[in-house]
Structure 1
Amino acid sequence: MTSGVRMLLGNGRDLPCHQEVIRFAVLCRAITLLLQAFFNILIPDHDADAFSPPRLSASGSWDRLLELLLGGLSRWDAEHFLFIAEHGYVYEHNCAFFPLFPLSLRAAAETVLWPFQGFLSLRSRLLLSAAVLNAFCSALASWALYELSCSVLQCRQKALLAATLFCLTPANIFMAAAYSESMFASLVFGAMWRLEKGQRCSSTLLFSLATSVRSNGLINAGFLLHSQLKRFAARVQAGAGTGVKPLEVLSQILNLVASAVLVSVAVSLLFALFQFYAYLRFCTPLFRPQQTVPKPLLQLAVDKGYRVAALNGGEPPWCSWDFPVVYTYIQDAYWNVGFLRYFEPRQIPNFLLAAPTIALGSWAVCWYVAANPWHCLTLGLVRRNPGGTEAEEDAGKPASGFCSPRAFVYVVHAAALLVFGTFFMHVQVITRFLGSSSPVLYWFLAHLLYQYEPLLQRESPQPQALGTKESLSHQKRNENPMFVLLSNWKESTVFTKCILGYMLSYWLLGLVLHCNFFPWT
């Protein structure tokens, strides 16, 4: 097995860490595409009650070949994204799927893949665009996560392991399929990294773009707000012993409030604009589309009870709300999403499916709180020694790794996602929900593996923190720790086998089930 893994993964000793991360991400994505094609050909599709719009254009031999090779990437919600990219927001429930990803697919199909239009239909080009775009975005997300991890964990080895764990995420199939998870992860991790580097404008822009990909991007405004609060608290505490004038404090508070409002507006702007677009399309007759909806799509609306934007019918209920947010209405009316609505005996299998992610996420939060109780109680804003520096304040605490004070805001973010996903959403979605939105799961697993796996301790007895020229030069070139674990599988501990077994089994099961229209996460 050692020689087989070595041939498949390569060594990686001669590559800088960020290049090794990108190489490993591309390799994982290539294996995913090959396996989904194999399983899609081998296993007949399940007859699922899912959104399945009719094909309006005839399929040629090249279209059928592409469907055979990449058809597993177009299952379940992927049909919505491909449909929107091809036809626009025809049906009301399409508005639950945000526009940046389908717009990107259409742009790629009409520009980069334009030479293929002679023998590939638009839908085939959209499907091919999704495979290529998500491969690029997942590699970009892996690189951004590595750089973010270096900034927060202050350890290249743990950062490299966390990034490679992301490449093997249990939500792997959704990173490859025509879903928006890969694009969202690349934007969010990139925004977090930029914020860690102090580049607030570019971070705000990326967070704003993320809200046009997925709705949970709105919560990321908390990172920017906490950063501003942290700077404000530091200034107040630094000036506490120097007799700061009340007017200066008031001015700082007003500036803080103003900047908080601006940040919140900036991050939520694209989300609000999309809701406004949906309101004009479905609630305002003068702005309804003038183009004729093809008869097969109208017939599907009649058969399934879908509301069509082009038809002059009754006004949707949400149009009369004080805040007409179509996304909230769709989640409630079409998918019965709400507080404790999923807590039913027949949903026990889905809770079991989500149990590993819920358990690991809860364990990570509890572990961090136990290691930093004062830091958590004060929201990371109050120093025990107001007159001391940040370095002095953090003395006695872990300077690097998962338990360092730098990771606080990310743990809070993960805890919020975990609570919301468990009690408000279809719980099985929490695996990809948390896996594509937060780095905490990967940081915590990397922390546990370095603490309990002798193979990694043998490779590097004491993972060196960043900050010295010696540690930087020593870790510029490093072997992929995932290669170490996989190539020495028999020698690894049971704990390591459980973690990697969980991730690899969800990877494989996701390919088998999701790509053939069986229920998955």
Structure 2
Amino acid sequence: MLAEIHKVAAITRLITIGLAIASYIFIGSYDSSAEIQLDSSRPHVLNVFLRWDAMYFLHISEFGYIFEQETAFFPLMPLIARFIANTVFWPLQSILSYRYTLLLAGVTIANVCFVLAAGALYRLTIALLPGNKKLAFASAIAFCLSPPAMFMSSFYTESLFAWITFEGMRFIAQKKYLLAALIWSFASAARSNAIVYSGFFFYDLFWMRFVNRKRYLTGLVKACIYTLITISGFVAFQYYTFNRFCSLDRPWCENKLPLLYSFVQKEYWGNGFLAYYEVKQIPNFVLAAPIILISLFGLKNYIQHDSLRFLTIHLMSSKTPYRKADENQSYTSSALAVYMYLWAFLLVFVCCNMHVQVIIRFFTSLPPLYWFVGALWSKAFGSSQLDKNVQSTVAANLVFSYFILYGLAGIVLFSGFLPPA
């Protein structure tokens, strides 16, 4: 089954890349920024992968952090791309040029990590719900059809971050907390939101032990230690940026907690609490609406199974008397509860503090999104006619159509350097 998932993931990447190159050849590029950065006087198929944020990652890979606003993009992806370009892909430098080799390295990382992430999501689901291979497979397929297809095949961090995230979550499911913390330390050097994964340690080692009257104080100490390891990538990068830019007498350096990341997000990218709530941003809220709605329905579906359990974080249950049978192997299993809390938190955070349309890419590393979609598709497409109902079938078809149509449209628009981004 795992080999089949890897195969499907690889096929979707080949289709995505093929359609992107064909679109670029026949339609061209609306913006010449990629050609300018690559010093290319004529079209090149690799140009199709250099769009928006990818231009920052390429520049960082080659020159390091020259400009303050570049620090919004974390160093793991550029460093790996540089390493591969200077080792495995070194012979290509004389053929493609150094910049094109860096770009090819970044694209290769993204696509290899995408295939690995699809398999990692399958293994994570099996680790949590060993009796539901059907959901594990459907969820992995949902990941393979993720709407932001080109972002996950270009010089972006989405695929790399998803793979690291899923692997760390699998270690958590297996109670291998140190391994999870170590791999997530790399995740926090790839994207800042990895620091919220520390919540898994506090949930498992402190809260659930407290609920079950176990050694929760010892668990609290362990959770703090694992948290420090997890955020070490983020902290190390902030320390680097402090030394790199504070010699230039920047205003954020005088703050009690001199974090360049917070300053850059507000100063250069306009992020902040409700800062995006402007009339001119209505089209972007419309773009984000499908993922927001899927998230709301997914959370509603989970919560209504045992609302008291969810709202009290396992202190009480509406299943009275509590039965072992309630520990089901479906989407509503209590084994998935902590992931639902993560989903709810990130949904509120994105809607209140970020460029809301980014939710389409931001949620590519969020397993419960795929579990809900996978459960929806399994029920509508993989069950007998007697198990189906009109409402779930319509919902499944709508979600499937959205995944496919948005993905295809996104490939063409991305290739032409056209919004949305």
TM-score class, shorter-chain normalisation, is: over 0.9
Q: 1:357 aligns with which of 287, 291, 302?
A: 291
Q: 1:445 aligns with which of 354, 373, 381?
A: 373
CA contact (8 A) 1:152 1:401 kept: no
| 2-structure distance, mates of 1:253, 1:75 | 48
* 1:449-478 per-position Cα deviation (integer Å, ceiling 9, x unaligned): 233x2x41139x89xxxxxxxxxxxxxxxx
Q: 1:43 aligns with which of 8, 11, 27?
A: 27
Letter in 2 for 1:261: C
Q: How many Å apart are 1:494 and its aligned residue?
A: 4.0
Quick check: 1:379 aligned with 2:363?
no
Query: What does residue 421 of structure 1 align with?
Result: 350
CA contact (8 A) 1:225 1:263 kept: no
Superposed, 1:449-464 pairs within 5 Å as: 449-451=377-379, 453=380, 455-458=381-384
Cα 1:40/1:231, change in 2 over 3 Å = same
CA contact (8 A) 2:181 2:227 kept: no
3-state SS of 1:176 partner:
coil
Quick check: 1:367 aligned with 2:301?
yes
Larger-gyration structure (1/2)? 1
CA contact (8 A) 1:155 1:400 kept: yes
Letter in 2 for 1:399: N
Q: 2:230 aligns with which of 234, 256, 267?
A: 267
| 2-structure distance, mates of 1:318, 1:517 | 34
3-state SS of 2:175 partner:
coil
Query: What does residue 500 of structure 1 align with?
Result: 400
Cα 1:445/1:226, change in 2 over 3 Å = same
CA contact (8 A) 1:100 1:212 kept: yes
Superposed, 1:144-293 pairs within 5 Å as: 144-153=120-129, 154-233=131-210, 236=213, 252-284=215-247
CA contact (8 A) 2:138 2:375 kept: no
* 1:268-324 per-position Cα deviation (integer Å, ceiling 9, x unaligned): 11101100100101113xxxxxxxxxxxxxxxxxxxxxxxxxxxxx51111111111
Q: Higher mean Cα deviation, 253-262 or 118-127?
A: 253-262
| 1-structure distance, mates of 2:86, 2:284 | 39
Superposed, 1:295-310 pairs within 5 Å as: none
Give the total of aligned pairs: 415
| 2-structure distance, mates of 1:495, 1:375 | 26
3-state SS of 1:150 partner:
helix
Letter in 1 for 2:141: T
CA contact (8 A) 1:85 1:105 kept: yes
| 2-structure distance, mates of 1:259, 1:494 | 46
Quick check: 1:120 aligned with 2:20?
no
> Please, which runs of 5 or more residues in structure 1 have no aligned partner?
1-16, 238-251, 285-313, 386-391, 463-491
Quick check: 1:87 aligned with 2:63?
yes
CA contact (8 A) 1:95 1:278 kept: yes
Cα 1:169/1:384, change in 2 over 3 Å = closer
Q: How many Å apart are 1:235 and its aligned residue?
A: 5.1
> Please, which runs of 5 or more residues in structure 2 have no aligned partner?
none
CA contact (8 A) 1:165 1:442 kept: yes
Q: How many Å apart are 1:70 and its aligned residue?
A: 2.3
CA contact (8 A) 2:46 2:100 kept: no
| 2-structure distance, mates of 1:382, 1:415 | 20
| 2-structure distance, mates of 1:393, 1:191 | 31
* 1:77-124 per-position Cα deviation (integer Å, ceiling 9, x unaligned): 000001100111011111110000000000010001011122221110
> Cα RMSD between the aligned structures?
2.3
Q: How many Å apart are 1:184 and its aligned residue?
A: 0.3
Query: What does residue 340 of structure 2 align with?
Result: 411
| 1-structure distance, mates of 2:88, 2:114 | 19
Q: How many Å apart are 1:380 and its aligned residue?
A: 2.8
Superposed, 1:64-143 pairs within 5 Å as: 68-143=44-119
Quick check: 1:320 aligned with 2:254?
yes
| 1-structure distance, mates of 2:341, 2:143 | 20
Letter in 2 for 1:348: I
| 2-structure distance, mates of 1:45, 1:117 | 25
CA contact (8 A) 2:31 2:417 kept: yes
| 2-structure distance, mates of 1:100, 1:517 | 25
Q: How many Å apart are 1:496 and its aligned residue?
A: 3.3
Cα 1:72/1:53, change in 2 over 3 Å = closer
Q: Percent identity?
A: 35
CA contact (8 A) 1:137 1:183 kept: yes
Q: How many Å apart are 1:68 and its aligned residue?
A: 2.2
CA contact (8 A) 1:233 1:381 kept: no
Cα 1:59/1:183, change in 2 over 3 Å = same
Cα 1:231/1:68, change in 2 over 3 Å = same
Cα 1:201/1:53, change in 2 over 3 Å = farther
Q: Higher mean Cα deviation, 67-76 or 418-427?
A: 67-76
Query: What does residue 513 of structure 1 align with?
Result: 413
* 1:422-463 per-position Cα deviation (integer Å, ceiling 9, x unaligned): 11100100111012x211111111112233x2x41139x89x
| 1-structure distance, mates of 2:68, 2:279 | 31
Higher relative contact order (CA 8 A, sep 6+): 1
| 2-structure distance, mates of 1:378, 1:193 | 25
| 1-structure distance, mates of 2:135, 2:125 | 8
3-state SS of 1:173 partner:
coil
| 2-structure distance, mates of 1:254, 1:155 | 34
Q: Higher mean Cα deviation, 96-105 or 494-503?
A: 494-503
Q: How many Å apart are 1:396 and its aligned residue?
A: 4.3
Letter in 2 for 1:458: S
